[in-house]
Amino acid sequence: MTSRPGDEKTRQLHNVYASKSANETAGIYDGWAVDYEAHMAGVGYSHPAMVAAMLCRHQKPGSEPLLDAGAGTGIMAELLDALGYSSIFGFDASPGMLKLAASRNAYDDLRIARLGEPLEYETDQFAATVASGVFTQGHAPLAGLKELTRITRPGGHIVFSIARSYLGEAIETQAKELEDAGKWQLASTTKRYDSTPMGNDSLMAQVYAFRIT
């Protein structure tokens, strides 16, 4: 995917995809936080809506706690609250993004944490977990899914988007590893979709839902 010189809507997006470390990624998002939503809206960003729709298909709304993994500016929390999920926890690696997420007053708890590292939540703490726009190049490693299976209750669901180099063999291999370990079972997937349609550019993605066993 290429961007025109000076196209600010996509420049930061390409920066995070090219990131070489978790610290670098968090730093880019800190600097991008104030303009993030306007820029992503300008390129038709659809991950949050797709993930929220898939969650509704499998997990009944209610007051049981949900986790927004990689909460960013809190777009997912507003969607989930509107859909009837009333207890939402979240974390992100970027303090700048979390500051904006907190301003929405939609979370019961927000903290700094990173996928791919141990998370300071109790085992089986959440009825469901969502991750929107997180499992993609330059962001969280797919290995972070294992920790999400620990903190999500049996019978609950993990719903997340996958994009770029994580699509296809990468996610299929990780999914089978966790299924063989008795951690989860595939519930459903969406068709592939263009998550940021920008004329001749495209960013193909897919949403997966797994039931914790």
- The model's confidence at residue 63, banded by pLDDT at 50, 70 and 90, is very high
Superfamily of domain 8-212: Vaccinia Virus protein VP39 (3.40.50.150)
Pairing of strands 109-112, 193-194: unpaired
Given a cut of 80, whether residue 1 has pLDDT beyond it is no
DSSP label at residue 18 = T
The pLDDT value given to residue 143? 95
Flag the least confident range among 29-33, 149-153, 191-195: 29-33
Given a cut of 80, whether residue 29 has pLDDT beyond it is no
CA pair distance 47, 50, nearest whole angstrom: 5
Flag the least confident range among 29-33, 65-69, 136-140, 193-197: 29-33
Given a cut of 90, whether residue 16 has pLDDT beyond it is no
Token pair, residue 82, equals 């509107």
CA pair distance 127, 110, nearest whole angstrom: 17
Cα 32 from chain centroid?
17
Q: What is the mean pLDDT of the chain?
A: 84
Token pair, residue 182, equals 């008795």
Q: Which residue has the tokens 């903290």?
A: 111
The pLDDT value given to residue 207? 96
Contacts of 77 (CB under 8 A, 6+ apart): 68, 71, 88, 90, 101, 104, 106, 107
Flag the least confident range among 33-47, 86-100, 162-176: 33-47
Percent residues over pLDDT 70 in the chain: 75
Q: Which residue has the tokens 């920790």?
A: 147
Across residues 173-188, what is the average pLDDT? Answer: 98
CA geometry: angle at 143 spanning 32 and 129, to 5°? 70
Of residues 10 and 66, more confidently modeled? 66
Instruction: Please count the helices (runs of H) and the strands (runs of E) in the chain.
Output: 7, 8
The pLDDT value given to residue 195? 74
Contacts of 114 (CB under 8 A, 6+ apart): 22, 26, 93, 140
